[in-house]
Amino acid sequence: MSSETPFQINVPDEKLTALRAKLQLATFPDELENAQWKFGSPLADIKRLTERWRNGYDWRQHEKAINEELPMFTRDIDVDGFGALNIHYVHKKSETVDAIPLLFCHGWPGSFFEVIRILPLLTASTAEHPSFHVVALSLPGFGFSEAPHKQGFGINQYAKVAHKLMVALGYNEYVTQGGDWGGIITRKMASTYGGRHHKAWHTNFPIPEPPSWKSPLSFLSFLLTPWSIEEKAGIERTKWFRTKGQGYSAQQSTQPQTLGYSLADSPVGLLAWIYEKLVLWTDNYYWSDDEVLTWISLYWFSRAGPAASLRIYFELRGDCEDLGRNPTIPMGASFFPKELIVLPAAWLRKSNNVVFESHHKTGGHFAATERPEELVRDVRKMFAKGSPAFGIVPGRTGYDPHVQQ
Amino acid sequence: MSSETPFQINIPDKKLSILRAKLELATFPDELQDIGWKHGVPLSDMKRLADRWRNGYDWRKYEQELNQELPMFTRDINVDGFGALNIHYVHKKSKTVDAIPLLFCHGWPGSFLEIRPVLSLLTASSPEHPSFHVVALSLPGFGFSEGAHKPGFGLDQYAEVTHKLMIALGYNEYVTQGGDWGFLITRRMAAKYGGKHCKAWHTNFPMADPPTWKSPLSFLSYLLTPFSAEEKAGLERTAWYRNKSSGYFVEQSTFPQTLAYGFTDSPVALLGWFYEKLVIWTDDYKWTDDEALTWISIYWFSRAGPGAAHRIYSEVSGDFYDLGRTSYPTIPMGASYFPQELLLLPSAWLRRLNNVVIESHHKSGGHFAAYERPKELVDDVRKMFAKGGPAFAIVPGRSGYA
Residues of chain A numbered 323-382 and touching chain B (CB < 8 Å): none
- pLDDT confidence of B256, banded at 50, 70, 90? very high
Q: Are strands A100-105 and A174-178 parallel, antiparallel or unpaired?
A: parallel
End-to-end CA distance of chain A: give it in Å, rounded.
45
Query: Measured between alpha carbons, how far is residue B248 from residues B186, B239, B273, B274 in Å?
Result: 23, 16, 8, 10
SS (H, E, C) B345-396: CCHHHHHHHCCEEEEEECCCCECCHHHHCHHHHHHHHHHHHCCCCCCCCCCC
Residues of chain B found within 8 Å of residue A22, distances taken between Cβ atoms: 22, 25
Contact in structure between A88 and A145 (CB atoms under 8 Å)? yes
Judge residue B66's burial from the number of C-beta atoms within 10 Å of its C-beta, 0-12 exposed, 13-18 middle, 19 or more buried: middle
Task: Report the percentage of chain B scoring pLDDT > 90.
Answer: 87
Mean pLDDT of chain A: 95
Determine contact: B272 vs chain A, CB below 8 A. Answer: yes
Q: What is the pLDDT of residues B335-384, one digit of tens each?
A: 999 999 999 999 998 998 899 999 999 999 999 999 999 999 999 999 99
Contact in structure between A78 and A161 (CB atoms under 8 Å)? no
CB atoms within 10 A of CB B29: 22
Q: Are the beta carbons of A40 and B253 separated by less than 8 Å?
A: no
Q: Are the beta carbons of B25 and A18 separated by less than 8 Å?
A: yes
Q: Are strands A83-92 and A132-137 parallel, antiparallel or unpaired?
A: antiparallel
Q: What pLDDT shows up at residue A208?
A: 82
Q: Which of B258, B268, B300 to mutate to test the interface with A (most CBs of A within 10 A)?
A: B258
Q: Enumerate the β-bridge partners of residue A74.
A: A5, A88
Determine contact: A248 vs chain B, CB below 8 A. Answer: yes
Q: What pLDDT shows up at residue A405?
A: 44
CB atoms within 10 A of CB B210: 11
Say whether the peptide bond before residue A109 is cis (omega within 30 degrees of 0). yes
Element (H, E) at A331: strand A331-335
Residues of chain B found within 8 Å of residue A29, distances taken between Cβ atoms: 257, 260-261, 263-264, 305-308
Q: Which of A32, A45, A310 to mutate to test the interface with B (most CBs of B within 10 A)?
A: A32
B100: left (phi over 0), alpha (psi -120 to 50) or beta: beta
Sheet holding B356-361, edge to edge: B5-7, B72-79, B83-92, B132-137, B100-105, B174-178, B198-203, B333-337, B356-361
Which letter, b or e, does each residue of B311-332 get, where b requires 16 or more Cβ atoms within 10 Å of its Cβ? bbbbbbbeeeeebbeeebbebb
Contacts 24+ apart (CB under 8 A), A290-296: A290/A52, A290/A57, A290/A62, A292/A49, A293/A49, A293/A52, A293/A53, A293/A57, A294/A62, A294/A113, A295/A109, A295/A111, A295/A113, A296/A53, A296/A267, A296/A270, A296/A271
Q: What pLDDT shows up at residue A222?
A: 65
Q: What pLDDT shows up at residue A216?
A: 66
Q: Are strands A132-137 and A100-105 parallel, antiparallel or unpaired?
A: parallel
Q: Please, what sign has the CA dihedral across residues A282, A287, A292, A294?
A: negative
Q: What is the pLDDT of residues B71-87, one digit of tens each?
A: 999 999 999 999 999 99
Q: Which of B31, B255, B261, B312 to mutate to test the interface with A (most CBs of A within 10 A)?
A: B261
Q: Are strands B333-337 and B356-361 parallel, antiparallel or unpaired?
A: parallel
Which residue in A29, A247, A272 is closest to B308 by CB distance?
A29
Q: Enumerate the β-bridge partners of residue B48.
A: none
Q: What pLDDT shows up at residue A321?
A: 78
Q: Are the beta carbons of A261 and B265 separated by less than 8 Å?
A: no
Q: What is the pLDDT of residues B79-138, one digit of tens each?
A: 999 999 999 999 999 999 999 999 999 999 999 999 999 999 999 999 999 999 999 999
CB atoms within 10 A of CB A46: 26
Contact in structure between B258 and A41 (CB atoms under 8 Å)? yes
Q: Are the beta carbons of B32 and A38 separated by less than 8 Å?
A: no
Q: Give every CB contact of residue A17 below 8 A, 6+ residues apart in sequence.
A: none
Whole-angstrom Cα distance, residue B340 to residue B238? 10
Question: Of A65, A47, A62, A119, whose CA–CA distance to A89 is shortest?
Answer: A119
Question: Of A285, A290, A286, A256, whose CA–CA distance to A273 is shortest?
Answer: A256
Q: Which of B15, B39, B271 to mutate to test the interface with A (most CBs of A within 10 A)?
A: B39
Determine contact: B49 vs chain A, CB below 8 A. Answer: no
Query: Measured between alpha carbons, how far is residue B1 from residues A160, B135, B160, B167 in Å?
Result: 67, 20, 17, 16
Q: Please, what sign has the CA dihedral across residues A209, A215, A216, A217?
A: negative
Residues of chain B found within 8 Å of residue A271, distances taken between Cβ atoms: 261
Q: What is the pLDDT of residues B178-204, one digit of tens each?
A: 999 999 999 999 999 999 999 999 999
CA dihedral angle for residue A348, residue A349, residue A355, residue A357, rounded to 10 degrees? 50
Q: What pLDDT shows up at residue A47?
A: 98
Residues of chain B found within 8 Å of residue A47, distances taken between Cβ atoms: none
Q: Are the beta carbons of B262 and A273 separated by less than 8 Å?
A: yes
Determine contact: B18 vs chain A, CB below 8 A. Answer: yes
- Quote the radius of gyration of chain B (alpha carbons, Å): 21
Q: What pLDDT shows up at residue B202?
A: 98
Whole-angstrom Cα distance, residue A26 to residue B19? 11
Contact in structure between B33 and A149 (CB atoms under 8 Å)? yes
Question: Of B157, B145, B143, whose CA–CA distance to B188 is shortest?
Answer: B157
DSSP string of B218-271? HHHHHHHSPPPHHHHHHHHHHHHHHHHS-HHHHHHHH-HHHHHHHHHH-HHHHH
Residue type for position A344: P
pLDDT at B325 over 60: no
CA dihedral angle for residue A77, residue A82, residue A86, residue A90, rounded to 10 degrees? -60
Contact in structure between B369 and B336 (CB atoms under 8 Å)? yes
Contact in structure between B96 and B129 (CB atoms under 8 Å)? no
H helix runs in A266-391, sequence order: 267-280, 289-300, 311-315, 317-321, 345-351, 367-370, 372-383
Whole-angstrom Cα distance, residue B256 to residue B151? 12
pLDDT at B221 over 80: no
Residues of chain A numbered 105-134 and touching chain B (CB < 8 Å): none
Q: Enumerate the β-bridge partners of residue A334.
A: A358
Tens of pLDDT along chain A (405 residues) come to 668 999 999 999 999 999 999 999 999 999 999 999 999 999 999 999 999 999 999 999 999 999 999 999 999 999 999 999 999 999 999 999 999 999 999 999 999 999 999 999 999 999 999 999 999 999 999 999 999 999 999 999 999 999 999 999 999 999 999 999 999 999 999 999 999 999 999 999 998 877 666 666 666 666 667 889 999 999 999 999 999 999 999 999 999 999 999 999 999 999 999 999 999 999 999 999 999 999 999 999 999 999 999 999 999 998 887 777 889 999 999 999 999 999 999 889 988 999 999 999 999 999 999 999 999 999 999 999 999 999 999 999 999 876 544
Q: Enumerate the β-bridge partners of residue B174.
A: B198
> What is the chain A residue with the closest CA to B317?
A244
Contact in structure between B33 and A150 (CB atoms under 8 Å)? yes
Residues of chain B found within 8 Å of residue A250, distances taken between Cβ atoms: 246-247, 249-251
Contact in structure between A140 and A85 (CB atoms under 8 Å)? yes
Whole-angstrom Cα distance, residue B194 to residue B104? 16
Q: What pLDDT shows up at residue B210?
A: 73
Whole-angstrom Cα distance, residue A59 to residue B314? 36
Whole-angstrom Cα distance, residue B68 to residue A363? 61
Residues of chain B found within 8 Å of residue A255, distances taken between Cβ atoms: 39-40, 245, 247-248, 276
Q: Are the beta carbons of B311 and A46 separated by less than 8 Å?
A: no
Q: Are the beta carbons of A262 and B253 separated by less than 8 Å?
A: no
**A366: helix, coil or strand?**
coil
Contact in structure between B99 and B131 (CB atoms under 8 Å)? yes
Which letter, b or e, does each residue of B247-276 get, where b requires 16 or more Cβ atoms within 10 Å of its Cβ? bbbbbbbbbbbbbbbbbbbbbbbbbbbbbb
Contact in structure between A306 and A259 (CB atoms under 8 Å)? no
DSSP string of A53-79? HHTT--HHHHHHHHHHHS-EEEEEEEE
pLDDT at B11 over 70: yes
